[in-house]
Structure 1
Amino acid sequence: MTPPTARTWSKQGRTPVVVVRGRSRRRLSVAALVCYKPGERSRLIYRPAPDRRADGRKSFAWTDYRDLLTVAHAQLGGPIVLVWDNLNTHLTGGMKQFIADRYWLTVIQLPAYAPQLNPVEGIWSLVRRDLANTAFADPEHLFAAVRRNLREIQYRPGLINGALAGTGLASITVLGGN
């Protein structure tokens, strides 16, 4: 919940100060799909996961990615070509078996350390920029701000197209977590 910082303006001689009441080790994990289908608007599908989950995990498990892909397949109504990074959760045995058992799912692995090829990184950049210089009162305030920001991006396909165009990957579905 430590706020990201960004440049800002103020009156001469008055340095702007962001007051943070305390530090917290709580975090919010979000998995997202940036989807493109020729002839249709680009889409963003996401799922947040607070770190205080019933199973004790602080990040997404392969089963969470599996569930997100299943929901995306139902929403998109067709086969998915998935391009994703080398996150260890994406490479687990359970995830590999899930992929192998789905005729509608083709996976292409990004090279190591290639965030410039992942359009979801462009989405995270937009979210971080919007949240910069915000001191969150509590975890729920952070969660609400992230959800609101992602929802706004969902309704602005131009932003999603910009994230896709920045990678050169314009005809695929991409999954990334952060």
Structure 2
Amino acid sequence: MEVGYLDESGFSLTLPPTYAWGRRGEAKGVPRAWGKEGRVNVVGHLVRGREGERLFFALLEGPVRWEVLRGYLDRVAESLGKPLKVFMDRAPFHRCRGVEERKGVWRGLGLEVAYLPRYSPHLNPMEGVWRRVKGFLMPRRHYGSVEELKEAVVQALKALGGVELKILEEGTYLGVGYDYRFDEKFYVGGGVTFAPLFLLAGTWPLYPTVHLGVYLY
């Protein structure tokens, strides 16, 4: 099983200033955009396996919500080649009902979702990815449009070897699952996954699953 770490980050038209050279006696100015307009949000995960580290990401349309997270993890689960256990922080939308109800389906496809300890961003390597992107790979501190900003974010992440994913639209990947927790440590569950897109590839779109596992926290 491979291990992954997931996180989200936001990029504004005006990024925090760093350092710049200027002529002596002349103040260096940087344009600034105020408010929430012109923001690009990104979700990504870093996988660590025998082949080394692999980075994946997706640009988000609008704010980060649990529906977006679920769609991203749907996309990850659908494309898995090996079982993956992905860790993320304990943000409320990471642990909401909509996400919890999907876990049975993801387990059946080889994706396990787990959580990092509280107040431990230093344990998530994706934090380092965001720092490198914002601090070194995007030297320009102001962008004139959202499209310019998107292009810069994508180029920076691809410079780190990142692969861009397209989040599955609601309705293209469906499933039902249920986990029964019979004590503080163990659970048993099952589910059925229905992927209509698989019909186009001529493969069977229904996947019944049964799983037994242990909560690790």
TM-score (normalised: structure 1): 0.73
Report the 3-state secondary structure (helix = DSSP H, G, I; strand = E; otherwise coil) of the residue aligned with 2:31: coil
Deviations 1:43-82 (A, max 9, x none): 111011132xxxxxxx223232222223323444111111
1:102-121 superposed matches below 5 A: 102-103=106-107, 104-121=110-127
Please identify which structure carries the higher helix content. Answer: 1
In the superposition, relative to structure 1, how do residues 74 and 41 fare at CA in structure 2: closer, same or farther (>3 Å)? farther
* Residue number in structure 1 paired with 2:61: 50
Highest Rg: 1 or 2? 2
Contact kept in structure 2, 1:2 and 1:24, CA below 8 Å: no
In structure 1, runs of 5+ residues without a counterpart are 52-58, 156-178
* Residue number in structure 2 paired with 1:41: 52
For 1:10 and 1:19, how far apart are their aligned partners in 2? 16
In the superposition, relative to structure 1, how do residues 10 and 76 fare at CA in structure 2: closer, same or farther (>3 Å)? farther
Structure having greater relative contact order (Cα 8 Å, sep ≥ 6)? 1
Structure 1 residue 133: Cα displacement:
4.8
Report the 3-state secondary structure (helix = DSSP H, G, I; strand = E; otherwise coil) of the residue aligned with 2:27: coil
For 1:4 and 1:132, how far apart are their aligned partners in 2? 10
Match status 1:25 vs 2:29: no
- Range with bigger deviation, 23-32 or 77-86: 23-32
Deviations 1:82-128 (A, max 9, x none): 11101221111111111133321222211222110111111110111
For 2:119 and 2:145, how far apart are their aligned partners in 1? 33
- The letter of the residue matching 1:86 is R
Contact kept in structure 2, 1:3 and 1:132, CA below 8 Å: no
Query: What fraction of aligned residue pairs are identical, expressed as a percent?
Result: 25
* Residue number in structure 1 paired with 2:70: 66
Could you list the runs of 4 or more consecutive aligned residues of structure 1 that deviate by over 4 angstroms after TM superposition? Answer: none
Structure 1 residue 132: Cα displacement:
4.8
For 2:80 and 2:54, how far apart are their aligned partners in 1? 9
* Residue number in structure 1 paired with 2:206: none
Structure 1 residue 30: Cα displacement:
0.6
For 1:63 and 1:25, how far apart are their aligned partners in 2? 21
For 2:113 and 2:35, how far apart are their aligned partners in 1? 36
1:26-175 superposed matches below 5 A: 26=37, 27-38=39-50, 40-51=51-62, 59-103=63-107, 104-129=110-135, 130-154=137-161
